[in-house]
Amino acid sequence: MENKEFSFETLWQEQKIQKPDFQALQEKIKHYKKENLKKQLFANISLISTLLFLIFLWVLLDELDLTTKVGLCLVILAVSLSLLKFNRFYSLFGKFNENKCGNSEIDTNQQYLKKLMEINQQQKRLQSDFMKVYFLLLGLGFAFYMYEFAQKMSLWMACLVYGLTFLWFGFVWFYLKPRIIKKQQQKLDDLIRAIENKAQHFSE
């Protein structure tokens, strides 16, 4: 009888410990969702502002060479595609309702894991395939856009301008982009690992 009472008491203590863990997990997911919705707002504001500025630039500079127009078109295309892609990606967080994922803690964990795996898959596609297209369009756009103005410069100045521009592209591609991707992936991996650990605990 004492053993039964002891086992019931132990189970009760375990339940009391598990509940705050689940609540902490929900808080982490809620924070992650809010953080990404803020990123969506910032991305929309910055990309739309850039797009409007480029269109204004096209209208302001009335007589442009063909190469300059092609360059502007490529940059506008790159920004427009990124606006569409980012909004499509961040819409996954808008559908992520952390309060209505399941009827039980196990169901909720499974739904969390399913949604986060979908986000993970889309994030990797965005970081690899799309970013290559984006930087290619942006690089070609700048190369064509600057050609008209480079013709009016001395050779060494034109080389300096092109060199500094593509040095910046290289810095972003080889240094900043990997660091940002690593940081984003780490946050998502931590959440997925936490949910998988919870699922493993339930299965034992």
Say what the pLDDT of residue 104 is: 55
Say what the pLDDT of residue 15 is: 47
Rounded Cα gap, residues 126 and 124, in angstroms: 5
Average pLDDT, rounded, for the chain: 82
Q: Is 140 helix (H, G, I), strand (E, B) or coil?
A: helix
pLDDT in tens, 155-174: 899 999 999 999 999 999 99
Rounded Cα gap, residues 6 and 170, in angstroms: 65
The secondary structure of residue 75, as a DSSP letter, is H
pLDDT in tens, 58-82: 888 777 888 999 999 999 999 999 9
The secondary structure of residue 154, as a DSSP letter, is -
Rounded average pLDDT over 132-153:
92
φ, ψ for residue 90, nearest 5 deg: -70, -15
Question: What predicted TM-score, i.e. pTM, was given to this entire model?
Answer: 0.80
Structure tokens at 24: 């902490």
Torsion, Cα 44 133 127 86, to 10 degrees, reads: 20
**188 or 62: which leads in pLDDT:** 188
| pLDDT above 90 as % of the chain | 45
Say what the pLDDT of residue 64 is: 81
